[in-house]
Structure 1
Amino acid sequence: MMNKTYPRTGDLQTVYLNAVIQDPSIEVGDYTIYNDFVTDPRDFEHNNVLYHYPIHHERLIIGKFCSIACGVKFIFNCANHSLRSLSTYTFPLFYEEWDLKKSDVASAWDNKGDIIIGNDVWIGYEAIVLAGVHIGDGAIIGARAVVTKDVPPYTIVGGVPAHTIRRRFDDATIALLQKLQWWNWPVERIRASLPYFIDGEYKSLTELIDNL
């Protein structure tokens, strides 16, 4: 857990997200940041995690070292009106009005499960991630994309609905990065390896592995 809220002195638009999260059903890894230049980024739970009601016990899990841009929304299952019924109206939700059982409230919508975001994921401006989506490590979500299905590791997606644009690296580099899982290293080891990360060359990556 981060022991400070703001990564940069004087920048009140960017927060370490797990320093401001209170809901135990939202898990965020260290160094993951959220930037908001419209509202207070400390209000992330209220403004960005939507339809996240206790009835499903669903979770939002975000890994370490993720970058989440202003206005990104995570939309959970209670936004999903059931497609199994003949009407889209949520009759079970209004059980008092229609003399239905309170225990059947959850049948008013489809339950697609938790939202799980990997490590080192970049989610662009005003993107929307829907219930049940899993986004792999190192993926990039384009601005205003609507992510309706899983995104493989180190893949760039964009559009409505989001589709694959390209993979960030070749198979060998992706395999090495997934093997390294550098986000789980001790902080000092990450700090010492920053020249390799910033350089971005395959040769540097293999050199890093050789020096481990």
Structure 2
Amino acid sequence: MQDTKLTNPNPDYPYPKAEFKRFAFLKPLITNPNILVGDFTYYDDPDGPEKFEQNNVLHHHDFFGDRLIIGKFCALATGVTFIMNGANHDMSGLTTYPFGVMGNGWDEDFDIEVFKAQSRGDTIVGDDVWIGRNATILPGVSIGSGAIIAANSTVTKDVPAYGIVAGNPAKLVRQRFDDRTIDRLMDLSWWDWPIELINRHRTIIQGNDIDALEEASKDLGDYLPQQ
């Protein structure tokens, strides 16, 4: 079954519903070049989503160069927080106290490279990920596409595609689908389809028939450049 409504909200305008501004597409609100967000990913906050960079991405210092990368079609609930590498302390010595950043003489032998060596790399969220209210994502974590992060979870390690995690620290509760289905979904990667094709088959994407989704994917040929 094909969708007859072949329109979609504008991913480059923050508010898909202008009268309901508690949630917004993040991509047009982001100004930091080290935060990359895909189309149609939204953040919901009754106090306004406009300060996501300032309020929800913490300790994100330019000198680290670490990136927060969030894919397409993700849903971020109120209070989702990303802790970036600037929160880490040097653990190579006998103390973790950051003397060097205090200045006033304590910074004379401060080696920024030692501090940067604590970096755990980029934080990456795949596509079609749902992150629940007040969840916290620690530095360097990779969350696979299709995953669900339960409310109030603290994610300290990587989450597999289509996994459901919960708790502090978050642990895998279960997979959303069997391994074969997950492999098929990842191969299809519907979120990378042209938006016209997503509109065309939106009801199938929202359904639970992966055979129908594979059949719909055959229409990708209609959108390939003509030789």
**Uncovered stretches (5+) of structure 1, i.e. residues with no partner:** none
After the TM superposition, which segments of 4 or more aligned residues of structure 1 sit over 4 Å from their partners?
Answer: 209-212
Match of 2:33 in 1: 24
Going by fraction, where is helix more abundant, 1 or 2?
A: 1
Give the root-mean-square deviation of aligned CA atoms: 1.8
Superposition deviation, residue 209 in structure 1: 4.6
Superposition deviation, residue 10 in structure 1: 1.0
Match of 2:18 in 1: 9
Structure ranking higher on relative contact order (CA contacts 8 Å, 6+ apart):
2
Q: Does 1:164 align with 2:172?
A: yes
CA distance in 1, matches of 2:28, 2:160: 28
Query: What TM-score results when the alignment is normalised by the length of structure 2?
Result: 0.86
CA distance in 2, matches of 1:119, 1:89: 37
Amino acid of the residue matched to residue 27 of structure 2?
N
CA distance in 2, matches of 1:11, 1:55: 37
Match of 2:141 in 1: 133
Conserved in 2, the CA contact under 8 Å of 1:91 and 1:108?
A: no
CA distance in 1, matches of 2:107, 2:14: 48
Query: What TM-score results when the alignment is normalised by the length of structure 1?
Result: 0.92
Q: Does 1:117 align with 2:125?
A: yes
SS at match of 1:96: coil
C-alpha deviations, 1:128-171, integer Å up to 9, x for none?
A: 00101011111111101000011111100010001000001111
Amino acid of the residue matched to residue 44 of structure 1?
F
Conserved in 1, the CA contact under 8 Å of 2:99 and 2:107?
A: no
Q: Does 1:187 align with 2:174?
A: no
Q: Does 1:145 align with 2:153?
A: yes
Worse-superposed segment, 170-179 or 41-50: 170-179
Superposition deviation, residue 108 in structure 1: 4.3
Worse-superposed segment, 77-86 or 144-153: 77-86
Conserved in 1, the CA contact under 8 Å of 2:12 and 2:27?
A: no
